[in-house]
């Protein structure tokens, strides 16, 4: 793949040979939407997927699909896939996740902080406090919990890539989704700040996936969400971009 150049989000991307090396990738919120599509795409390419979600039934279904994907790819890494029930909103749950991942798979090469939620369309003063708290707890605290427990593990190896899922609404405002916008602006700031704390050899980036037809988009756009690309169409581009990230990308705000 060395020397092949692609353009994603306005960025010229050189597909380095390292991307062809099997990686271990941890994806939060793996049971649906972008997380699920990315996990399946990575599995098809022969990479090992570690995923977490609160939906055990969806994890079970994904486990079968991952095994099938790896069988089709004729890869031996299917035995190493690890899907766990974990709630990123809970620091103790993420602490246990980190312990289990270390015991069974070791330190991930890449972490994708994908778990997220959005509020129902509503003006900030009419939004129930519980709904606001859930967005903040999932999107900001959930990401922080993963960083807290996994960065020290990556530091011991002096390498690792972390992708914090952002949004176009983390770089602009929009009516009726103020809590979500606030959470993604926070992800942008958190990423830039943590980037200054990481040692050489590591990187953390904020990644805007673009506008994708997911349940979250449908909650905002209604039937119009169907006009946008499906997660399965997005995943190959996103996987290539993520696999090609290096320490030189530390602190960047990128778009698929």
**Pairwise CA distance, residues 74 & 116, whole Å:** 32
Our answer to whether residue 180 is catalytic in this structure is yes
Section 159-185 average pLDDT: 98
pTM: 0.91
User: What is the separation of C-alpha 9 from the centre of its chain, rounded to a whole number of angstroms?
Assistant: 17
pLDDT digits (tens, 9 = 90+) for 21-63: 899 999 999 999 999 999 999 999 999 999 999 999 999 999 9
Q: CB–CB of 22/48 below 8 Å?
A: yes
Sign of the torsion formed by the C-alpha atoms of 217, 221, 222 and 224: negative
Residue 80 confidence (pLDDT): 86
Instruction: For residue 156, count other CB atoms closer than 10 A to its CB.
Output: 9
Nearest CA among 161, 242, 164 for reference residue 198: 161
Task: Kindly state the DSSP code that residue 212 receives in the 8-state scheme.
Answer: B
Q: Which of 62-76, 103-117, 187-201 has the lowest mean pLDDT?
A: 62-76
User: Does the pLDDT of residue 7 top 70, yes or no?
Assistant: no
Contacts of residue 19, Cβ cutoff 8 Å, sequence gap at least 6: 1, 240, 243, 244
Catalytically annotated residue among 132, 180, 185, 234 = 180
Q: CB–CB of 188/207 below 8 Å?
A: no
129-136 vs 178-195: helix crossing angle, rounded to 10: 20
**Pairwise CA distance, residues 211 & 231, whole Å:** 10
User: Does the pLDDT of residue 156 top 50, yes or no?
Assistant: yes
């Amino acid at each position: 793949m060395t020397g092949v150049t692609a353009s994603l989000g306005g960025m010229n991307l050189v597909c380095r040979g390292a991307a062809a090396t099997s990686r271990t990738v941890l994806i939060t919120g793996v049971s649906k939407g972008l997380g699920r599509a990315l996990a399946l795409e990575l599995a098809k390419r022969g990479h090992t997927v570690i995923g977490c979600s609160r939906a055990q039934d969806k994890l079970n279904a994904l486990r079968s699909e991952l095994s099938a994907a790896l069988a089709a790819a004729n890869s031996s890494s299917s035995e190493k896939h690890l899907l766990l029930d974990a709630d990123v909103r809970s620091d103790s749950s993420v602490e246990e996740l980190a312990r289990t991942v270390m015991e069974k798979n070791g330190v991930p090469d890449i972490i994708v902080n994908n778990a997220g939620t959005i509020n129902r369309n509503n003006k900030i003063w009419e939004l129930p406090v519980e709904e606001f708290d859930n967005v903040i707890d999932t999107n900001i605290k959930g990401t922080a919990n993963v960083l807290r427990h996994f960065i020290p593990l990556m530091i011991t190896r002096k390498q690792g890539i972390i992708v914090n899922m952002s949004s176009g609404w983390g770089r602009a405002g929009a009516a009726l989704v103020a809590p979500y916008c606030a959470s993604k602006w926070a992800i942008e700031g958190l990423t830039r700040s943590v980037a200054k704390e990481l040692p050489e050899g590591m990187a953390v980036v904020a990644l805007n996936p673009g506008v994708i037809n997911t349940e979250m988009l449908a909650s905002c756009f209604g039937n119009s969400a169907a006009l946008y690309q499906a997660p399965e169409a997005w995943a190959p581009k996103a996987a290539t971009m993520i696999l090609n990230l290096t320490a030189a990308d530390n602190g960047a705000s990128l778009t698929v």
